[in-house]
A and B are shown apart, each in its own frame.
Chain A
């Protein structure tokens, strides 16, 4: 793995599978009486949030605390940032406090990349969502949720999502979730279809490793998972679509549409949901909808990412190899990383 996690596109298949497998073990910690591991004791992680996102911040914070890291929360509101301090100065101030990793959420696309490559700081940078660019841990937790539901909790270990058909519906243009998911799901072998009104698909999408459709109904029956993206009502005012009603009629997921999906198919949503817009209450509350699971999985994924980036003297080592069809879990693991048997 690289030293930072900026984009889902930077992950190899082996990186991604290692993260998912590690998250699977992390998830088991949540079932124990003491939900804490000593792994990152003495390491300091700052959650640098320039955008409001309580749920993502809490998820990272929970992951950091379960790994015993020291956590500093920094939110832009009421801080020196609102007094005009630059990202660079803020970052350097935090680094001076001895921070090992920066989890950054920023409204400007590329801000985490800039932080990681500009030479301003030495800490590892984890992108917690930047503008309309990337949100890699969201894509990872989505892939984790899909693997658990579509392949199996135990059967999924060591596996990718080869052959799974994933449909992502909604405001692709403004969505970092869509971009990250297209990259990661493609890397994991899934077939992705984006469904949106043409106004909400970016110019230049033709090079993305996915299909584009303007018609939701024809894709539903061919989907193993349908991911609904949040559509902000304000988009209506910029003429992306005529009315809320027309949008939800053409691109919203209701009970009738859900019935067209295969029996095993799941409904996903990165949250927060706009009920009545992209998703009806009936669908949101059905047991095919994985929204709550996704939140729980988010903590496990973020624990895995933090461990694999910060747990050692350098990021975890992975090797890109062709996927193996017959898996022997322990062999699979030893091929991915240094053997765990040294220094008994």
Chain B
């Protein structure tokens, strides 16, 4: 099966657990939570983890700006070079790391990703952050937490807690990348695929 065929098959079999309006709603909620917990969010920097975390971070920034009427710095943090599973795959293409102009020193960095699973990505992100500067605090926002943590990591803001089995996959699709907003729960493909 080629990639396109596989995609169609997967989407036919998978069950949507969040649709576009749900995603918009939970992002709004997370934005409010950030403002509340960060006491106005005046030192917040949002860093999305490529690929889809970046789009989520931008959406969150838009919502925060609506709420606070202030420009919220948003950037991206590629963690590829910090992964602990590099030796298990061929090297991956690097994505862009874009730190907002004023940097992260002394700020509250909110990492944004689509799915929280083993926690290894976030571990890598914390390492990457360490090489870039010294934030006042680091928090984590994810659209979906599907459980099965392998490291002592938890999210500060969760769009949806989704109990899953390891035989299942969670796939987040966003309009910027995939043409539509949805979160799909499906069965794991036998060979390794691009799902969480």
Q: Do chains A and B touch in the complex (CB under 8 A)?
A: yes
Establish whether residues A34 and B132, one from each chain, have CB atoms under 8 Å apart when the complex forms. yes
Establish whether residues A311 and B194, one from each chain, have CB atoms under 8 Å apart when the complex forms. no
* Residue B89 lies at the interface, judged by CB distance under 8 Å to chain A: yes
Residue of A nearest to B98 (CB): A28
A21-32 vs B, Cβ < 8 Å mask (1 yes, 0 no): 110011010001
Q: Interface residue tally of chain A, by bracket? A: 35 or more
Chain A residues near B96: list those with CB within 8 A: 25
A344 with B91: in contact, given A25-B78, A37-B131, A307-B81 (CB under 8 Å)?
Answer: no
B75-100 vs A, Cβ < 8 Å mask (1 yes, 0 no): 00010111001111111111111000
* Residue A338 lies at the interface, judged by CB distance under 8 Å to chain B: yes
Establish whether residues B90 and A25, one from each chain, have CB atoms under 8 Å apart when the complex forms. no
Distance of A209 Cα from B117 Cα, bound (Å): 50
* Residue B196 lies at the interface, judged by CB distance under 8 Å to chain A: yes
What's the least CB distance linking A204 to chain B, in Å?
A: 36
* Residue B50 lies at the interface, judged by CB distance under 8 Å to chain A: yes
Residue of B nearest to A28 (CB): B97
Establish whether residues B127 and A38, one from each chain, have CB atoms under 8 Å apart when the complex forms. yes
A338 with B90: in contact, given A343-B85, A344-B113, A344-B196 (CB under 8 Å)?
Answer: yes
Max chain A Cβ within 10 angstroms of own Cβ: one of B118, B120, B121: B121
* Residue B115 lies at the interface, judged by CB distance under 8 Å to chain A: yes
Establish whether residues B116 and A337, one from each chain, have CB atoms under 8 Å apart when the complex forms. no
Chain B residues near A311: list those with CB within 8 A: 81, 86, 91
Distance of A316 Cα from B94 Cα, bound (Å): 11
A343 with B118: in contact, given A38-B81, A38-B127 (CB under 8 Å)?
Answer: yes
Establish whether residues A22 and B94, one from each chain, have CB atoms under 8 Å apart when the complex forms. yes
Chain A residues near B115: list those with CB within 8 A: 344
Picked from A25, A33, A307, A344, the residue with its CB within 8 Å of the CB of B117 is: A344
Establish whether residues B95 and A340, one from each chain, have CB atoms under 8 Å apart when the complex forms. yes
Picked from B81, B88, B90, B177, the residue with its CB within 8 Å of the CB of A317 is: B90
Establish whether residues A22 and B93, one from each chain, have CB atoms under 8 Å apart when the complex forms. yes
Residue of A nearest to B78 (CB): A25
Establish whether residues A312 and B91, one from each chain, have CB atoms under 8 Å apart when the complex forms. yes
Establish whether residues B196 and A341, one from each chain, have CB atoms under 8 Å apart when the complex forms. yes
A306-344 vs B, Cβ < 8 Å mask (1 yes, 0 no): 011111111111000000000000100110111111111
* Residue A288 lies at the interface, judged by CB distance under 8 Å to chain B: no
What's the least CB distance linking A111 to chain B, in Å?
A: 26
* Residue B106 lies at the interface, judged by CB distance under 8 Å to chain A: no
Chain B residues near A334: list those with CB within 8 A: 51, 93, 194
What's the least CB distance linking B133 to chain A, in Å?
A: 7
Distance of A68 Cα from B27 Cα, bound (Å): 38
Picked from B51, B97, B133, the residue with its CB within 8 Å of the CB of A340 is: B51
Establish whether residues B82 and A38, one from each chain, have CB atoms under 8 Å apart when the complex forms. yes
What's the least CB distance linking A28 to chain B, in Å?
A: 6
Establish whether residues A312 and B93, one from each chain, have CB atoms under 8 Å apart when the complex forms. no
Establish whether residues B118 and A340, one from each chain, have CB atoms under 8 Å apart when the complex forms. no
B180-196 vs A, Cβ < 8 Å mask (1 yes, 0 no): 00000000000010111
Chain B residues near A26: list those with CB within 8 A: 94
Chain A residues near B117: list those with CB within 8 A: 343-344
* Residue A235 lies at the interface, judged by CB distance under 8 Å to chain B: no
Distance of A341 Cα from B85 Cα, bound (Å): 12
Picked from A28, A39, A337, the residue with its CB within 8 Å of the CB of B86 is: A39
Establish whether residues B89 and A338, one from each chain, have CB atoms under 8 Å apart when the complex forms. yes
* Residue A36 lies at the interface, judged by CB distance under 8 Å to chain B: yes
Picked from B80, B93, B177, the residue with its CB within 8 Å of the CB of A336 is: B93
B residues lining the A interface (CB < 8 Å): 50-52, 78, 80-82, 85-97, 113-118, 120-121, 127, 130-133, 177, 192, 194-196
A residues lining the B interface (CB < 8 Å): 18, 21-22, 25-26, 28, 32-34, 36-39, 67, 307-317, 330, 333-334, 336-344
The 6 closest A-B pairs by CB, nearest first: A311-B91, A339-B194, A344-B117, A25-B94, A312-B91, A34-B131
A selection of 17 A-B contacts at a CB cut-off of 8 Å is A18-B93, A25-B95, A25-B96, A33-B131, A33-B133, A36-B131, A38-B82, A39-B81, A311-B91, A312-B86, A314-B90, A337-B90, A337-B92, A340-B50, A340-B92, A341-B196, A343-B85
